[in-house]
Structure 1
Amino acid sequence: MSNGPAGHVERSTVRPYPETGRRGPIRTFLCTADGVPVDSVYDPGTVVYERHPYTSRTRSGDLVFVVAHGFTGDADRPHVRRVAGVLRGYGAVVTFSFRGHGRSGGRSTVGDREVLDLAAAVEWARGLGHTRVATVGFSMGGSVVLRHAALNPGTVDAVVSVSAPARWYYRGTAPMRRVHWLVTRPEGRLVGRYGLRTRIHHREWDPVPLSPVESVPRIAPAPLLIVHGDRDGYFPLDHPRMLAEAAGDHGELWVEPGMGHAEHAAEDALLGRIADWVSTRAG
């Protein structure tokens, strides 16, 4: 699915948005480095400078969360909007639809070229004036935030990967076998297109992109948080443990009791703890 060498990421052509003081939400299409229009939403958050009611820390307008959704999600899905709604209490939020998802153009490469979509969103967030940028990814998006940070050192100030795989081509659970059918079979891609609003590329990866576990050691010195549920039906606990081991001292692992998979399973209280972790470590 790749058009260039493995590990190579081109720069996007996002232009900075002019500073106009207090802004409301902005919705636009960003153009990625390979020319794909990506539907993106910016929310400036609820507070610029104020002490958070549940912590002793101060929320600041310089922090923005860039949220990378899971496979078959998009910026308008209720579970993605809920995540954004919690995070906006701690800073600004950028959500977007990966290529092939929702209103974005192109076709999904299931975690390969999606690093370009995230790169465009991160660059847009910087152009909006935010000096601290944290990426928060779920499942496929969790693997994308790891690869993006590894391939683009210095572009983000903190990385949070939730329910992500450690390695490619995993088929050890029934849900992942269904995902592979969806991606690799023509009839599966039809179900994805018409049943799940997800247009999936028919070509296989060539070359195979850098894996999440190979990406993790390259993220330092940016702080990394790995979050995984002990009831995740897609990826068992050896995946987050592999990622945490690869991260070494610059990574932190939270295994959440009773949690399932990705955005649907991430409760508001957990999202608040993630946001608080970011606010104390980013920048």
Structure 2
Amino acid sequence: MSIGPAGHVARSTVRPAYETSRNAPMRTFLRTDDGVSIDSVYDPASAVYDGSRPPSRDLVFVIAHGFTGDVDRPHVRRVVAALTDHAPVVSFSFRGHGRSGGRTTVGDREVLDLAAAVAWARDLGHARVVTVGFSMGGSVVLRHAALRAGADAVVSVSSPARWYYRGTAPMRRVHWMVTRPEGRLVGRYGFRTRIHHRGWDPVPLSPVEAVPRIAPTPLLIVHGDNDGYFPVDHPRMLADAAGGAAELWLEPGMGHAEHAASGRLLGRIGDWAAARAG
């Protein structure tokens, strides 16, 4: 493996035999700018599709999961399986999640994790990269697009618009898990999620502050009108901040993030991305 400039480390020095072909799944560890090891998976496009169009080979999706998720969680794998009908998929576990190293900063330094995954996707030869994030990952893809400009299109699903939101019971539980020592123990042993004990200093760019910086990159904001974590003022705030440069899908009856994203919705997201990226 050759190590390029900062932010462009493609893969670890450990190379499984099946890495030699992009027709087979690959699993490896990426190294971020700040030295964190990120468990990552590449799934090639499905050989079976619905007949409307064959899967794209130059397009790739990079999936950013929600808080307490990881690359092996069934709800994350379901998203990957749905999107491989359209194109290959890179998925990964954020720092502090699953088998990745480090501790989560709940949306701050996770931008570096996504940047490493996008760089790997480019290194594999894909000309068009679409980042698709859910909940915490939805905020990360927005911030990555604003700060790094590494994607050809961005899809943010169930993202918060602003930090420190405690207006729903689920978000109050999340804040307890993140801010309290006993909550972080629950995160570690109950959810396989290691949470950094230090608060943000400085406070990172918020999703709503990031959105105006994303244009002209195509941006899709997806949110359920039955989301128990973030009510619909969050996606509307994000869409307003885009000044007409983003599409907003408010999905009737949909709940929160990967668990609530139907196969039909994921198919529509795949179609949108294939049409908009590049």
Could you tell me the TM-score, scaled by structure 1's length? 0.91
Give yes or no for contact 2:45–2:55 (8 Å, CA) kept in 1: no
**Matched length:** 269
Q: Which residue is 2:154 aligned to?
A: 159
For 1:53, the aligned partner's letter is: D
1:240 is aligned, of 220, 232, 235, to 235
User: Matches of 2:117 and 2:230 in 1, distance apart?
Assistant: 27
Q: Which residue is 2:180 aligned to?
A: 185
Q: Which residue is 1:195 aligned to?
A: 190
Q: Which residue is 2:38 aligned to?
A: 38
Give yes or no for contact 1:12–1:116 (8 Å, CA) kept in 2: no
Give yes or no for contact 2:11–2:30 (8 Å, CA) kept in 1: no
Sequence identity percentage: 75
Trace 1:1-283 onto structure 2 (pairs within 5 A). Answer: 11-14=7-10, 22-47=22-47, 53=50, 55=52, 57-153=53-149, 155-283=150-278
For 2:126, the aligned partner's letter is: H
Give yes or no for contact 1:15–1:127 (8 Å, CA) kept in 2: no
Once the two structures are superposed, what CA deviation does each residue of 1:181-225 show, in whole Å capped at 9, x if it has no partner? 000000000000000100000000000000000000111111000
User: Matches of 1:256 and 1:41 in 2, distance apart?
Assistant: 29
For 1:69, the aligned partner's letter is: H
Please state how far the C-alpha of 1:250 moved relative to its aligned partner.
Answer: 1.9
For 2:40, the aligned partner's letter is: S
Q: Secondary structure at the match of 2:247?
A: strand
Once the two structures are superposed, what CA deviation does each residue of 1:151-177 show, in whole Å capped at 9, x if it has no partner? 012x21100000000000000000000
Once the two structures are superposed, what CA deviation does each residue of 1:50-80 show, in whole Å capped at 9, x if it has no partner? 9x6364x553200100000000000000000
User: Matches of 1:267 and 1:23 in 2, distance apart?
Assistant: 27
The structure showing larger relative contact order (alpha-carbon pairs under 8 Å, at least 6 residues apart) is 1
Q: Secondary structure at the match of 1:30?
A: strand
Please state how far the C-alpha of 1:45 moved relative to its aligned partner.
Answer: 1.1
Give yes or no for contact 2:211–2:238 (8 Å, CA) kept in 1: yes
Give yes or no for contact 2:46–2:55 (8 Å, CA) kept in 1: no
Once the two structures are superposed, what CA deviation does each residue of 1:118-153 show, in whole Å capped at 9, x if it has no partner? 000000000000001000000000000000000012
For 1:83, the aligned partner's letter is: V
Please state how far the C-alpha of 1:20 moved relative to its aligned partner.
Answer: 5.4
Could you tell me the TM-score, scaled by structure 2's length? 0.93
Once the two structures are superposed, what CA deviation does each residue of 1:29-63 show, in whole Å capped at 9, x if it has no partner? 0000000000000011124xx9x6364x5532001
Give yes or no for contact 2:138–2:158 (8 Å, CA) kept in 1: yes
Q: Secondary structure at the match of 2:210?
A: helix
5+ residue gaps in structure 2? 1-5
Give yes or no for contact 2:224–2:253 (8 Å, CA) kept in 1: yes
Please state how far the C-alpha of 1:14 moved relative to its aligned partner.
Answer: 2.3
Alpha-carbon RMSD across the aligned residues, in angstroms, is 1.8
Give yes or no for contact 2:59–2:128 (8 Å, CA) kept in 1: yes
User: Matches of 2:65 and 2:50 in 1, distance apart?
Assistant: 28
User: Matches of 2:197 and 2:251 in 1, distance apart?
Assistant: 35
5+ residue gaps in structure 1? 1-9
Please state how far the C-alpha of 1:23 moved relative to its aligned partner.
Answer: 2.5
